[in-house]
Amino acid sequence: PGPHNLTCVSNKHPSVRGELGDAGGAAAGAVRCPPGQCCIGIWNRSHALVQGCWGGEGDACPSATCAPSPAGTPGGSVLLCLCHGHLCNGNPTGTATATG
């Protein structure tokens, strides 16, 4: 089960360290995910932090669109979405956040 041949927006903000997103600091682009993976997007109030593939199992990504929800501490500024639509993590809905 899960999406196959899904393409996600791939982007990693320079402030993000480590392997998460694994875009290598390159310009935003698109990445083809392994079978069964879906797209992830993580934003703060002003810009995208990480966008790419997420290896969640099964129903980890129930929505075809990106509807970010708060992640981390309550009242924090970090938003997260998991979705299984083509390039869905490049277009968060329900937020005033631009992905630029």
Kindly compute the dihedral angle of the four CA atoms of residues 70, 46, 10, 5, in this order, to the nearest 10 degrees: 40
CA 57 to chain centre: 16
Instruction: Specify the 3-state DSSP secondary structure of 82.
Output: strand
Q: What integer pLDDT is reported at residue 83 of this predicted model?
A: 94
pLDDT, residue 94, reads: 60
In this structure, the number of other CB atoms found within 10 A of the CB of residue 5 comes to 9
For residue 66, the tally of other CB atoms under 10 A from its CB is 28
Q: Return the CATH fold of 7-83.
A: CD59 (2.10.60)
The whole-number mean pLDDT for each consecutive block of 10 residues of the chain, a chain of 100 residues, reads 78 78 56 92 89 80 89 84 93 56
Q: What is the pTM of this model?
A: 0.77
Residue 72: its pLDDT value, please?
78
